[in-house]
Amino acid sequence: MKLMVLKLLAFVFLWLWWSTCIHVKAENDRLKPGNFVLQQLHPNGTNTLLWQSFDYPSTLIPTMKLGVNHKTGHQWVLVSSLTDLVLNPGAFSLEWEPKGQELVIRRRGKVCWQSGKLRNNRFEYIPEEAQRMLKYTIVSNGDEDSFSFNSTNDKLTPRWSFSRSGRLSCNEGYVKADLCYGYNNTGGCQRWQDLPKCRNPGDLFVKKTLFPDYENVTFEMNPAFGYSDCEASCWSNCSCDGFSALWVNETGCTFYHWNSSKNFVDTSVAGVELYMLENTGNITPHNGTKRWIWLSAVIATTLLIIFLSILCLLKKRKYLGQEKKRKEMVMKMPHSTICDGLSSIEDFGNVFKKGHELNVFDYTLVMMATNGFSSENKLGQGGFGPVYKGILPTGQEVAVKRLSKTSTQGIMEFKNELTLICELQHMNLVQLLGCCIHEEEKILIYEYMPNKSLDFYLFGEECVTV
């Protein structure tokens, strides 16, 4: 057996062992720039692909795939490194979900973030600036289910890569999967656990440079632990205030407990890179978000009810004031005390039975009775104004005399006619049923005469004034 070291890029080495009877060829794939291919050369001149860098990406570039090869069963996954110095597979992986047509980020196998379904060449939870120059390609057939992207600008080569904390860098934007703590579901984050009772919404680990106090600390010496593993352990431990890397290569964990951070000295010049738990929101109690939402909803509903009640009260007061004003106008007319039967519209059925009592009709009822003073209901025109036929809700037919706004006879004629008819009520005379006063409108409501009036028979059609 022989050992061969191939230098692929600066500081990246590939170690290979092979038998002396096997020939190996390593070269750059000319069809896929950036893809390093390792092949076995056979005596008959054929090649067998042993390994290619595009199948095990640490950075996603154009034409590289995420998904699954159904022929070989190989999955194309973008995996974060354990630390910046240890390139072993870390906690986070970016995968293509063909059923949901979306990208997912897993944290130690658990889905912590989803991009949302691809629509119109855009993912909902990937920043727009990260997708501006990208064109996505989806392949789904018997050979593979895959996702890849290309640049719409030939001069630029976009790339996606993971940080050790799980933040996905996409060109000019970021997918902040490192802020998905398992209980929150905003920005594409997915729930996989409840918020610990000792933690509050808005709690985050914030990077600081401090001189720590090592009096109350514990250690995790496992070199397979990276940033995300330390963070998850401290998050679930109620006595943990923060953490830092234990070893020089940023593996292992140092945990700080029970407010030991109070003895830390803050410095921006030198010190240890620590991640301390802080609350970045305004809500401190557990389940405070839900309580605040409910409290806000109750306050908003109460204010809305108060506002609507005041509005209804003001409208009712305005309506009653108008009714009172109309009645006062009638009561101030000469000899109006004879017409002592003034009542509301709701009582007009009883008023008719009282003989000579007068009723004040609501303007809305008059409008309904005459079909909005329709020209089809018009009976004629006199000096007072037009006369319309109307039908009351009881079915009784009436004649409605409307004082014309351009009439020269005006308000005095209206008062005189109302007073005169009130005093001359007789079974052989046309009955005045009531009146209506609404803003500038002055209306008299008479008993309808289907056989027309006496003057029609005496003078003919030349005199049709009612």
Predicted local distance difference test score (pLDDT) of residue 325: 62
**Cα separation of 331 and 404, whole Å?**
22
323: pLDDT strictly greater than 70: no
Select from 452, 451, 433 the least CA-distant residue to 443. 433
Q: Which residues contact 255 (CB under 8 A, 6 or more apart)?
A: 217, 218, 219, 220, 230, 233, 234, 237, 240, 242, 243
Predicted local distance difference test score (pLDDT) of residue 247: 92
Question: Which tokens hold the place of 107?
Answer: 């944290």
Q: Which residue has the higher pLDDT, 448 or 340?
A: 448
Predicted local distance difference test score (pLDDT) of residue 335: 37
When pLDDT is cut at 50, 70 and 90, the band that residue 139 belongs to is very high
232: pLDDT strictly greater than 80: yes
Select from 99, 145, 105, 140 the least CA-distant residue to 125. 105
Position 119, amino acid: R
**Cα separation of 177 and 189, whole Å?**
7
60 contacts 78 by C-beta, under 8 angstroms: yes
- 53-67 confidence digits (pLDDT tens): 666 677 888 988 999
Predicted local distance difference test score (pLDDT) of residue 266: 57
Chain-wide mean pLDDT for the chain? 76
**Cα separation of 191 and 184, whole Å?**
6
- 198-215 confidence digits (pLDDT tens): 888 888 899 888 877 677
Centroid of chain to Cα 13: 50
Predicted local distance difference test score (pLDDT) of residue 464: 46
Q: Which residues contact 365 (CB under 8 A, 6 or more apart)?
A: 345, 392, 393
153: pLDDT strictly greater than 70: yes
**Which H or E element spans position 294?**
helix 288-331
Helix (H, G, I), strand (E, B) or coil at 122: strand
User: pTM of the predicted model, to two decimals?
Assistant: 0.51
Q: What mean pLDDT comes out for the span 251-260?
A: 82
79 contacts 92 by C-beta, under 8 angstroms: yes
Distance (Å) of CA 369 to CA 144, 359, 377, 394: 76, 15, 10, 10
Position 335, amino acid: H
197: pLDDT strictly greater than 70: yes
- 275-320 confidence digits (pLDDT tens): 998 887 644 333 444 455 677 788 888 999 999 999 888 888 887 7
393: pLDDT strictly greater than 90: no
What are the extents of the domains in the chain? 1-53, 56-194, 203-279, 338-462
Centroid of chain to Cα 301: 19
**Cα separation of 124 and 49, whole Å?**
37
Which residues, in sequence order, are bridge partners of residue 39? 25, 49
Buried b (16+ CB within 10 A) or exposed e, 26-44: eeeeeebebbbbbbeeeee
Residue 119: DSSP 8-state: B
Select from 92, 105, 59 the least CA-distant residue to 226. 92
Select from 27, 39, 35, 83 the least CA-distant residue to 61. 35
- Topology of domain 338-462 in CATH is Phosphorylase Kinase; domain 1 (3.30.200)
- 72-124 confidence digits (pLDDT tens): 899 999 999 899 888 888 999 999 999 999 999 999 999 999 999 999 999 99
Q: Which residues contact 398 (CB under 8 A, 6 or more apart)?
A: 369, 389, 390, 391, 392, 433, 445, 446, 447, 448
16 contacts 30 by C-beta, under 8 angstroms: no
Predicted local distance difference test score (pLDDT) of residue 245: 92
91 contacts 60 by C-beta, under 8 angstroms: no
**Cα separation of 132 and 139, whole Å?**
21
392: pLDDT strictly greater than 70: yes
Position 320, amino acid: L
359: pLDDT strictly greater than 90: no
Q: Where are the beta strands (DSSP E) in 123-190?
A: 134-140, 144-151, 160-162, 167-170, 173-176
330: pLDDT strictly greater than 70: no
170 contacts 127 by C-beta, under 8 angstroms: yes
Q: What mean pLDDT comes out for the span 13-34?
A: 49
Predicted local distance difference test score (pLDDT) of residue 76: 92
Select from 221, 228, 255 the least CA-distant residue to 240. 255
- 343-358 confidence digits (pLDDT tens): 333 433 333 344 446 7
- Topology of domain 203-279 in CATH is Hepatocyte Growth Factor (3.50.4)
